[in-house]
Amino acid sequence: MISTVVLSEGQRTKANEDKKLETMRHSAAHVMAEAVQSLFPDAKFGIGPAIKNGFYYDFELPRSLTPDDLPIIEAKMSEIIASNIPFNRQEVSKGEARQILASQPYKLELLDEIPDEKVSLYRQGSFVDLCRGPHLDSTGGIEAFKLVSIAGAYWRGNEHRPMMQRIYGVAFASKRALAEHLEQIEEAAKRDHRKLGRELDLFSIQEEAGPGLVFWHPKGAVIRRVIEDFWKDEHVRRGYDIVYTPHIARLDLWKTSGHWEFYREHLYSPMEVEGQEYMIKPMNCLGHILIYKTRRRSYQELPLRYAELGTVYRYERSGVLFGLARVRGFTQDDAHIFCSFEQLEDEVAGVLDLALFLTDTFGFTNYKVLLSTRPEKYAGELESWEKATEILRQALARLRIAYEVDPGEGVFYGPKIDIQFEDALGRGWQGPTIQVDFNLPQRFNVTYIGQDGREHLVAMVHRTVLGSMERFLASLLEHYGGVFPVWLAPIQVMIIPVADRHLDYAHHLESELRSEGVRVKVDGRSERINLKIRQAQLDKIPYMLVVGDKEVAASTVSVRLRSGEQATSQTLESFREGIRLAIASKSKGLSL
RNA sequence: GCCAGCGUAGCUCAGUGGUAGAGCAGCGGUUUCGUAAACCGCUGGUCGUCGGUUCGACUCCGACCGCUGGCUCCA
């Protein structure tokens, strides 16, 4: 989409600064390359672009780098920066460039792919690079940088090409900005869902059981149950039917669907049952199709929306597993909508509305909406692809949702809309997804009888509005840093008796609140209240009720909020009503 | 799967070619206490697994398993 954008003065300045920063980061990559070249004269160079917050450069070196190499390279870079060497641009013919870069096979490969006859080289000191530029005037312009990590990276992102060594660095316009960035990273690490999951006793993944398989502990399970209950209610309200389908089914089903053919590498091996091959499901769609197909469907029944919290198992390569965000067994908040082509736009809009409603209710604010279009390998007619993609666009436009187009990233069976959440470190994880499917209705002959009395293929939409329970919990945890709003908190109230003689009263309060559906516990240990309060704080429990002689005498509770806010004295009735409201309204605050 | 790093008590971490330590947690006791850590004591580890080198390995080497950071992948 091309549009003319008029920038304000402020935006222009900002854009200008971003550009400068990017140039500086790119120049830092060249300086790093020079430093590496001085340490490894035989180094072969790949590419070295500026990226978010910094830069990287890919090298082929005679030995593996270790973290100990980074300070050495940094020191060399600092020397180069201190000597303030100019960056010289030089335009040459491709032939000349070939001679100059004769010892650099990767550069020659890049050179071959440049259509122009003239190319530009950049030189600083002893280092020459094929590069479009621009660069700083000289190396002294690099203000603040730090090399942060080493990683393997396939040449040109292709796993069949050699693996190079990539060094990542960060660079900023000032030492202060760099320090702030590094501090931010440290802060983000504290919100890591893997760390919080252990500290708050929400879940575990155990080597004994196998990687990528999640154990939901009682407290994590509470959060999940609350989410699931809310999810079910909201779906029923919006005209979905909740269904359940088996976890294994005959392999033939997945042969018919095409998964066996197209999705093999993610499937677990079939198992044999009485001479028949069965497979554990990687997806829920077939179950829903089978329910749909148990009888003839009339156009009058459509749309049919089958929803299921369906647990699926997919083989993921060991290197890609990541906490709860990328696992081998997970529960999708799945649904499949069977409708006519005419109903498609309304249905997609309905799903978008639901997805954004949930996203908003859970408090997410930073997410990205992506429209993925037709990939190179695709099923179905070109024309239906275009129509469907247009329908997705229309639905997005109708709800005034800003989105980016991700060209060619659609699924082989249809275009899709994805919503991506960011984790604490800014990595994007796909949550909700809405996918139009041209493939399965054909393969399974999923039809309805139209008004014209004829059989028509249904339009099918696969969709999740949270993604999976596992990944969604990960996102929630990082979003809230473990400090869940009251309605989601595993324990909502901790009652803290001052001394043993207040235990009876504490248990009385407990049963009063519990009968109201509040998740409440009494910390009845013979410990000081300082300790109990500290532990309740660390557990991020929203409300602490301290009860001692005064409270027993007056039939009140002393309410302390986890925010550390001053304790207030309230009657039980008033506290109970307050927390009831906070829970029912899914309030993000703690006020009573 | 690939590249690199890491793996010591439930958690956070120290440690050395001569046979393992702290804090927290846990357990026992004392304390009955007013809004973020009372006190005393005790328990706890085949140092990820399996092999090798060595008189001797937690330490050195190799393989495997797992985790972490990336790459690839993610319908």
Active site residue A336: yes
C-beta neighbour count of A497 within 10 angstroms? 25
Query: Are both A528 and A448 inside the same structural domain?
Result: no
* Cα separation, A213 vs A280, whole angstroms: 15
Confidence class for position A2, pLDDT limits 50, 70, 90: very low
**What is the length of chain A?**
592
CA A304 to chain CA centroid, nearest Å: 29
What is the CATH number for A412?
Answer: 3.30.930.10
Q: Is residue A88 part of a domain?
A: yes
- Using the CA of A535, which nucleotide's C1' is the nearest one? B36
CB A210 within 8 A of CB A334: no
Provide the pairing of β-strand A304-313 with A241-242: parallel
User: Tens digit of pLDDT for each residue in A328-365?
Assistant: 999 999 999 999 999 999 999 999 999 999 999 999 88
**Eight-state DSSP code of residue A499:** S
Q: Is residue A139 part of a domain?
A: yes
Average pLDDT along chain A = 91
Look up the pTM and report it.
0.92
Q: Is residue A223 part of a domain?
A: no
Tell me if residue A326 falls in helix, strand or coil. strand
Query: Are both A506 and A472 inside the same structural domain?
Result: no
Query: Are both A240 and A181 inside the same structural domain?
Result: no
Query: Are both A354 and A446 inside the same structural domain?
Result: yes
Query: Are both A52 and A154 inside the same structural domain?
Result: yes
Contacts of A492 (CB under 8 A, 6+ apart): A486, A518, A519, A520, A541, A542, A543, A579, A583
Query: Are both A455 and A537 inside the same structural domain?
Result: no
* Chain B bases near protein Cβ (<7 Å): 1-5, 11-12, 30-38, 65-75
Tell me the CA distances in angstroms from A129 to A88, A104, A143, A351, one per residue in order: 10, 10, 22, 50
Which of these three, A450, A480, A510, is where a domain ends? Answer: A480
CB A464 within 8 A of CB A491: no
Nucleotide B56 C1' to residue A69 CA (A): 35
Q: Is residue A264 part of a domain?
A: no
Query: Are both A147 and A171 inside the same structural domain?
Result: yes
Q: Is residue A589 part of a domain?
A: no
* Cα separation, A27 vs A35, whole angstroms: 12
Q: Is residue A487 part of a domain?
A: no
Instruction: Please report the pLDDT score of residue A114 as a whole number.
Output: 87
Annotated active-site residue in A462, A463, A519, A560:
A462
Active site residue A195: no
Residue A410: both structure tokens together: 């659609």
Which of these three, A433, A459, A480, is where a domain ends? Answer: A480
User: Tens digit of pLDDT for each residue in A107-161?
Assistant: 999 998 888 888 999 999 889 999 987 999 989 999 999 999 999 999 999 989 9
Q: Is residue A3 part of a domain?
A: no
CB A375 within 8 A of CB A491: no
Q: Which domain holds residue A237?
A: 230-245+282-480
Nucleotide B41 C1' to residue A45 CA (A): 64
- Using the CA of A425, which nucleotide's C1' is the nearest one? B69
Which of these three, A442, A458, A480, is where a domain ends? Answer: A480
Nucleotide B25 C1' to residue A399 CA (A): 51
User: Tens digit of pLDDT for each residue in A357-384?
Assistant: 999 999 988 888 999 998 887 888 888 8
What is the CATH number for A170?
Answer: 3.30.980.10
**Of A73, A77, A160, residue with least CA distance to A124:** A77
Instruction: Please report the pLDDT score of residue A427 as a whole number.
Output: 81
Nucleotide B35 C1' to residue A323 CA (A): 36
Contacts of A485 (CB under 8 A, 6+ apart): A363, A542, A586, A587, A588, A589
- Using the CA of A166, which nucleotide's C1' is the nearest one? B70
* Cα separation, A336 vs A440, whole angstroms: 11
Query: Are both A170 and A240 inside the same structural domain?
Result: no
Annotated active-site residue in A124, A332, A420, A570:
A332
Contacts of A275 (CB under 8 A, 6+ apart): none
| Number of domains comprising chain A | 3
Give the residue, A183 or A324, on which the prediction is more confident.
Answer: A324
Query: Are both A293 and A316 inside the same structural domain?
Result: yes
Query: Are both A20 and A109 inside the same structural domain?
Result: yes
Query: Are both A352 and A427 inside the same structural domain?
Result: yes
Query: Are both A130 and A184 inside the same structural domain?
Result: yes
What is the CATH number for A502?
Answer: 3.40.50.800
Nucleotide B53 C1' to residue A70 CA (A): 32
Active site residue A314: yes
Annotated active-site residue in A25, A44, A131, A285:
A285
Annotated active-site residue in A334, A418, A523, A539:
A334
- Using the CA of A372, which nucleotide's C1' is the nearest one? B75
**Of A227, A203, A198, A202, residue with least CA distance to A215:** A203
Tell me the CA distances in angstroms from A226 to A288, A347, A487, A519, one per residue in order: 25, 26, 8, 11
Confidence class for position A4, pLDDT limits 50, 70, 90: very low
Q: Is residue A206 part of a domain?
A: no
Q: Torsion-angle region of residue A92: left (phi > 0), alpha (psi -120 to 50) or beta?
A: beta
ipTM > 0.90? yes
Q: Scan for tokens 């071959």, then name that residue.
A: A112
